[in-house]
Amino acid sequence: MTVRKLNMAKTRSRLPDWFRTRLPSGELQKKFNETKSTVTDNMLHTVCQEARCPNIHECWAAKDATFMVAGQECTRSCKFCAVGTVRVPPPLDVNEPANVAHAVSAMDLNHAVITVVNRDDLPDSGASHYRKCLEAIRQKVPSVTLELLCSDLAGDHKDLADLLLNLDIQVFAHNVECVPRLDLKVRDRRASFEQSLGILIEAKKLRPDILTKSSIMVGLGETDDEITDALQRLREAKVDLVTIGQYLAPSPKHLPVDRFPEPISYDRWSGQIERMGFLGWACGPLVRSSYRAGELLARARAKLKLKAE
C-alpha cells in the first residue's frame, strides 16, 4: 500500500459497532423476495437499489419503495450528496410518468415515495413534471399511498401551489438536511434552512389536509442543542413527520463525518420529538428520509383518528 493510500485509509472514519442491519425472515423475507423478483423481471429501477440503502429489506418487505424522477443528475452541488452535478441536464423524459407508474403497479406497492433532483434549469424547477409523474401513478394504482420528497423549487411558492393544487398525495416532504448554521458548509449556495422551512410552511397552508415531513442528518458538525432548536422550528412550522439519521460520506471527496452519535442520542431525540407533538418520527444511525415511510404515515393517521374521536 502506498503512503498516500495508507493516509487516506487512516483518515476515513470507521463505522461503530452499532451499524448493523437485520435481514428479514419468515413472511417478511418472502415478501422481500417477491418484490425483488418483480424488480428484476421487469427491469425496474429504484433509489432503494441504486443508493444501496441499508434498509431495503425492511421497506421492500413492507411493500414500500422510492423512485427518483426528473433525471439522474442535479443542478446543485451539495457537499453531502452522491448524486452527480450538471449545469444543464438532459431534457425531461416524457415517458417517465408512465414508466414510474408501471413500476409502482408491477411492484404492487402499498406506499411509494417519489423523490426528485433539483432542476434549476427549468422555469418551474420541474414542478409540472413531478405532478405528471404522481398523477400517472394515481391513475394506474388508485390504492397506493403517495409521498413526494420534493426539491425547494428555488423557493417559488407559485410553482409550489401549481404542484399541490388538487394533487392526490398523502405526504409532502422536503428535507432541511442540516441545522441552519451549517447551510453554507453542507448545502449548495442556492439552498438554505430558511428557504426550506418556507416551502414546508407554505405547503401546509396550501394543503392542510396532507402531512408534511422533513429530515435532518447528524454528524456534520452540529451540536445536540442545535438539533433540538431545528426540531422545534420544524414543529412550529407545523411539520408532522420527521426523521433523523447518521450522515455517511459517499466518497473521500465529500464532507468528512464529524461524529457518530451513539444510539442513546437517537432515543433522546425521539423523546424530544414526541414531547414537541410530531405525529410520527424515525431516529437511528441507519435511518434515511424515506425509512419506513408507509409505517410513519399509518401511525400518524391513527393518531389523528384518535384525536378526532
Q: Nearest Cα to 151, choosing from 180, 112, 185, 177? A: 177
pLDDT at 119: 95
- Is the separation of the CB atoms in 189 and 148 below 8 Å? no
pLDDT at 130: 97
Q: Residue 43 is placed in which grid cell?
A: 427491469
- Is the separation of the CB atoms in 204 and 212 below 8 Å? yes
Q: Nearest Cα to 172, choosing from 223, 127, 121? A: 127
Residue 3 included in any domain: no
**Is pLDDT larger for residue 61 or for residue 299?**
299
Residue 54 included in any domain: yes
Cβ-Cβ contacts under 8 Å for 8 (sequence gap 6 or more): 252
pLDDT in tens, 99-108: 999 989 988 8
CATH assignment at residue 234: 3.20.20.70
pLDDT band at 12; cut points 50, 70, 90: very low
For the chain, the domain total comes to 1
Segment among 16-20, 26-30, 163-167 with least mean pLDDT: 26-30
pLDDT at 64: 85
pLDDT in tens, 174-183: 999 999 999 9
pLDDT at 26: 65
Residue 24, CA distances (Å) to 27, 30, 31, 79, 263 in order: 8, 9, 9, 33, 21
How many of the other CB atoms lie within 10 Å of CB of 187? 23
Q: Nearest Cα to 178, choosing from 160, 189, 193, 197? A: 193
Residue 20 included in any domain: no
Residue 19 included in any domain: no
186 phi and psi angles, rounded to 5 deg? -100, -40
pLDDT in tens, 295-309: 999 999 999 998 887
Residue 15 included in any domain: no
Helices (H) and strands (E) in the chain, counts: 12, 9
Residue 202 included in any domain: yes
Q: What is the rounded CA–CA span in Å between residue 183 and residue 58?
A: 31
11 burial level (CB within 10 Å; 0-12, 13-18, 19+): exposed
Residue 2 included in any domain: no
Axis-axis angle for helices 193-206, 224-236 (nearest 10): 30
Q: What is the rounded CA–CA span in Å between residue 102 and residue 109?
A: 11
DSSP annotation of 88 reads: S
Q: What is the rounded CA–CA span in Å between residue 95 and residue 228?
A: 43
Q: Nearest Cα to 130, choosing from 81, 188, 203? A: 203
pTM of the model: 0.89
- Is the separation of the CB atoms in 76 and 191 below 8 Å? yes
Residue 16 included in any domain: no
Q: Which stretches does DSSP call E strand in the chain?
A: 64-69, 73-74, 84-85, 111-116, 145-149, 171-173, 211-218, 241-246, 280-283
**Is pLDDT larger for residue 47 or for residue 245?**
245
